[in-house]
Amino acid sequence: MNALNENLVIVIPARKNSKRLKNKNFRNFFGFPLFEWSLAAGLFLKQQLSWFREISVVCTSDDEQILDLVKKKYSSSILAVRRKPELSDDNAILSDVIFDCIYKLAERDVIRLDDYLAGSFILLQPTSPIRLKDDLVVFCKQIKNLESGFSMVSVNKNYSEIKDIYEIIKFSEAKSDFLIGHVGKKILKVRDIKKNSNSAFVDGSLYLGLMSTLKEKGFMPVAKTLGFPLSINRSIDIDTEKEFDDALMLIKELQNLGIEYVSPKI
């Protein structure tokens, strides 16, 4: 059976420390802590992905404030996992964080370990909080049609800075109007972008993969990671004060245009 029909874990990694923007995951972002926007997206995706056998939405953190909010406000819908110190610094590998979630939930008898290790995952980075409802709905449709063995990551063709820019390679197996090919190598310099006109910003707001592939090949395996283009006019990955302010401005623009995005509820 296709693992994409089996168990799914939706992971929101929200650690405490951040070098460039202090305590950013708990900063007030339009009335809610920044990380809570990704919790809302996780619950929205869970509603859309009804064909999976079982779905768990998990927030992993070393921040007591974050864990307390999840336990108090989302006790019936989101699982909280306390992350160990060695998985909470700048050297932590996200694949280790995801596996840590699954093993800890299995130890608590919340999930069946083998079922989840044979399934898939979605990663929602809190630093990319703005997700349009239409994009999430289409993303879920793509998951249903995705061939086994492929990963899928959200990308944006519109960008202004050299930050997480990757080449996009046309790929005959990307049989969809909403998939633009597979993600190639990372582009580090402006001159490399000029040589390669087909490129995109990998924004971190949506990433789908198989647990088995994650274990064997890590994130974004070569020739197996398809780019899902977002319809939003620009994506923001918040690492600085300016990017935080830019994200607030983008929310206001979307409101003025009447474009729906997924946000937390009181």
Domain coordinates of the chain in residue numbers?
3-257
205: amino acid identity, one letter: S
Counting every residue written for the chain, the total comes to 266
Q: What is the mean pLDDT of residues 29-57?
A: 95
Q: What is the mean pLDDT of residues 217-235?
A: 88
Give the confidence band of 205 by pLDDT, cuts at 50, 70, 90: very high
Q: pLDDT per residue over 162-194, tens digit each? A: 788 888 887 655 556 678 888 888 887 766 666
pLDDT of residue 195: 60
What ranges make up the beta strands (E) of 106-173?
A: 120-123, 151-156, 165-169
State both tokens at 35. Answer: 């990380």
pLDDT of residue 55: 94
pLDDT of residue 194: 62
pLDDT of residue 266: 82
Residues 6 or more apart whose CB falls under 8 angstroms from that of 176 comprise 142, 145
Q: Kindly report which listed range (57-66, 233-242, 253-262) carries the lowest average pLDDT score.
A: 233-242
Beta bridge partners of 60: 13, 81
pLDDT of residue 1: 38
The Cα–Cα gap between 149 and 85 comes to 32
Q: pLDDT per residue over 131-167, tens digit each? A: 999 999 999 999 988 877 889 999 998 887 778 888 8
pLDDT of residue 11: 97
CATH number of the domain at 3-257, out of 3.90.550.10, 3.30.565.10, 2.30.300.10, 3.40.50.300? Answer: 3.90.550.10
Give the confidence band of 100 by pLDDT, cuts at 50, 70, 90: very high
Q: What is the DSSP code (8-state) at residue 134?
A: H
